[in-house]
Chains A and B, each alone.
Chain A
Amino acid sequence: MTTVDRVTNASFEAWKAAYDRARQRDVPFETVSSAPVLPLTTPADLSGTDADAEIGLPGQFPYTRGPYASMYRTRLWTMRQFAGFGTSIDTNKRYHYLLDHGQTGLSVAFDLPTLMGYDSDHPRSEGEVGKCGVAIASLADMETLFDGIPLSDVTTSMTINSPAAIIWAMYLVTAQKQGTKLDQLGGTTQNDILKEYTAQKEFIFPPAPSMRLVIDTMEFATKHTPRWHPVSVSGYHIREAGSTAAQELAFTLADGFAYVVAAIERGLDVDSFAPRLSFFFNSHVDFFEEIAKFRAARRVYAKRMRDKYGAKNERSLMLRFHTQTAGCSLTAQQPLNNIVRTTWEALAGVLGGTQSLHTNSMDETLALPTEHAAKVALRTQQLIAYESGVANTIDPLAGSYFIEDLTNKMEASANEIFDQIDEHGGVVPAIEKGWFQREIAAAAYHYQRELDAGQQIIVGVNKFVEQGDDTKLDTLFIGPEAEREQLERLAKVRRERSQGAVDGALERIRTDAASSVNMMPAFMQASEAYCTLGEMIDVLRDEFGTYTEAPAF
């Protein structure tokens, strides 16, 4: 940078002397990830940075300033609030409500039985049906979920992992029944199994067959659904599990590269699938650290995709991502403060160039959001988009000494962590050794101890605590009737379907699982026959085996 000459050593030394004479607050000047923060950054900190090569321009390699040339001047980010609870009837009503209030994309939260591949009437599902998301046991539930919502017009994101291929098959069949062609469908399946082993822990099968299913969906999408993002490589859950920002960045990108390698090994051309890979990051409370993380993510990804994995299509090099504000930063104490936290976390996502955004509701440390709380969260995004002015220009923080230095540091940390993963033999061996799990748990414990020692501050929790804080929020209550209704719906499906078609479809799943063919057509056939999710997963459990984690803390 040419500006480097403007700060002379003499003036810097004078500043340093004045700074050292000044009283400094007795707090650790560090990020929420416990990374030290300099009191001041100057051009000298960027003296080794080639601005044209490293920062560049939006829409140009290495995409530090954004994947697209015109960013929010062409289209604002997609406001995509994650929602799901109770039965598909309950959630369908919430989707209509959100769309009516200006939401621009749908995002499905599934209940735990669905996420773990159990039908609503399985004994292990007792008490969990519809509690933390919507219960989807068969195509009938999927059809109800999108009743009156033309799937040709909305894009849908589905947070589903172990059973992702099957749930996606149900979605594809639902769209076909609505009269929508597969190549018109836009949306995303999370389908990121690797971070389940490291962070969110909703795994069913061992890593190898799980990876096969992921690659099946990527291969199918490449051929049949050119607008669909079959995998959303997710750091969100890694961060929520307690990682630092740099770990979130590096672990997530490493997972992404593991899918790239596996798809190449399947025989797919990297440029045939990479343009449809997408990412999903957390936006935590440390404003600048998060912005730097997002900018570094694009740069690190572009360089590796080109230089290590041989991608040539520029769309294969552009990292595009969804952001969700940090659930783990919200407090049960003084819950209205959560609106404020969420606002600047969302702003960090926007200044980091996110393609879509979920803002958490103020009541999420208490329960799933009420309609009112969800609306305030959506309005938060609309205020940022239409009032703050930040969407008028592209990557406004570029060139800030501090932001660029932090971005460089994030990139360097990510590269160091990639080396550590390589030393463990790659992502899957490191999972099997429990390395990621231990790294994340150690970071979470470190943070909690800093919090307890007052070295990290959370307003309302360890500073400015109010005794007898009487802010009472109404919370969403999901009563036992949701489970009861869902059981009735499922019994009706089992009664009315053709058993012959069910048996034939399940047998095909068994045969295909034992061979190496792409399983998507078998899952679509079984969905159409109203096989339940649990029936299909049970066949796969038989064929693939199940995975258990060695308990350790």
Chain B
Amino acid sequence: MQASEQPIRVLVAKPGLDGHDRGAKVVAAALRDAGMEVIYGGLHQTADRIVEMAIQEDVDAVGLSILSGAHMTLFPKVRALLSEAGGGHILLTGGGIIPQEDMDALAEQGVGRLFGPGTTLQQLVDYIRDEVSNRRAAARS
């Protein structure tokens, strides 16, 4: 089954005003090197623009990097807009400076796993691969 799978498409973006893009770029390069098709959305994107790109590019997952403390506003907003735009199946994940309590609260709102400092690139690759293949399998059944 794995062999016939389409490559996983991921949008990596920086929402809001935060410009710290080291993490986003490192993750984008790692996902690319793991064989995924990566669309790097660049800096200072609004939630609307991120969702528009995700739908246009027909991605399986959206990864947001937020180090500014605005995660409790931005993740739910992107999640809601994605679902409204017919992207309910798209995995929304990400990382940054996000306290555990906030990660838990966001998980309850339908946001996927969020990763903090110290995460290995392999953990991210494995998570996205597993989660996307589960979602694809669910969509087929």
Determine if chain A interacts with chain B. yes
Q: Which residues of A contact B (CB under 8 A)?
A: 112-113, 115-116, 118, 124-128, 131-132, 196, 200-203, 240-242, 328, 330-333, 365-368, 440-441, 444-445, 448-449, 451-452, 458, 460-462, 475, 478, 548-553
- Which residue from A118, A124, A452, A553 sits with its C-beta under 8 Å from B25? A553
Q: Are A367 and B69 in contact (CB under 8 A)?
A: yes
A333 CA to B17 CA, complexed, in Å: 27
Within 8 A of A (CB), among B24-72: 24-26, 28-30, 32, 38, 40-44, 46, 67-70, 72
Interface string of B8-29 (1 = CB under 8 A from A): 0000100011111110111011
The answer to whether A444 and B99 touch (CB under 8 A), given A124-B17, A127-B70, is no
Q: Are B26 and A242 in contact (CB under 8 A)?
A: yes
Q: Are B69 and A551 in contact (CB under 8 A)?
A: no
Interface string of B60-91 (1 = CB under 8 A from A): 00000001111011100000000000000000
- Which residue from A127, A330, A548, A553 sits with its C-beta under 8 Å from B72? A127
A330 CA to B17 CA, complexed, in Å: 23
Q: Are B17 and A551 in contact (CB under 8 A)?
A: no
What residues on A are CB-neighbors of B73 within 8 Å?
126-128
A448 CA to B29 CA, complexed, in Å: 11
**How far apart are B86's CB and chain A's nearest CB, in angstroms?**
24
The answer to whether A112 and B118 touch (CB under 8 A), given A201-B43, A448-B26, A553-B25, is no
Listed by A's residue number, 7 A-B pairs whose Cβ atoms lie within 8 Å are A127-B72, A128-B68, A196-B19, A240-B20, A548-B44, A553-B28, A553-B32
Q: Which residues of B contact A (CB under 8 A)?
A: 12, 16-22, 24-26, 28-30, 32, 38, 40-44, 46, 67-70, 72-74, 97, 99, 116-118, 120-122
- Which residue from A124, A203, A451 sits with its C-beta under 8 Å from B46? A124
A367 CA to B19 CA, complexed, in Å: 17
A115 CA to B19 CA, complexed, in Å: 10
Q: Are B74 and A127 in contact (CB under 8 A)?
A: yes
The answer to whether A367 and B97 touch (CB under 8 A), given A127-B72, A332-B116, is yes
Q: Which secondary structure dominates chain B's binding surface?
A: mixed
The answer to whether A444 and B25 touch (CB under 8 A), given A128-B16, A475-B99, is yes
What residues on B are CB-neighbors of A203 within 8 Å?
19
The answer to whether A332 and B26 touch (CB under 8 A), given A367-B97, A551-B40, is no
Q: Are A112 and B17 in contact (CB under 8 A)?
A: yes
A131 CA to B17 CA, complexed, in Å: 12
Task: Beyond A131-B68, A552-B40, list 6 extra A-B contacts (CB 8 Å).
Answer: A112-B16, A127-B74, A132-B69, A331-B118, A441-B26, A441-B29
What residues on B are CB-neighbors of A440 within 8 Å?
22
A126 CA to B76 CA, complexed, in Å: 13
What residues on A are CB-neighbors of B44 within 8 Å?
116, 201, 548
A127 CA to B16 CA, complexed, in Å: 9
Q: Are B25 and A445 in contact (CB under 8 A)?
A: yes
A513 CA to B20 CA, complexed, in Å: 29
What 5 A-B pairs have minimum CB-CB distances, sorted nearest first? A127-B73, A201-B19, A551-B42, A131-B69, A112-B17
A550 CA to B40 CA, complexed, in Å: 10
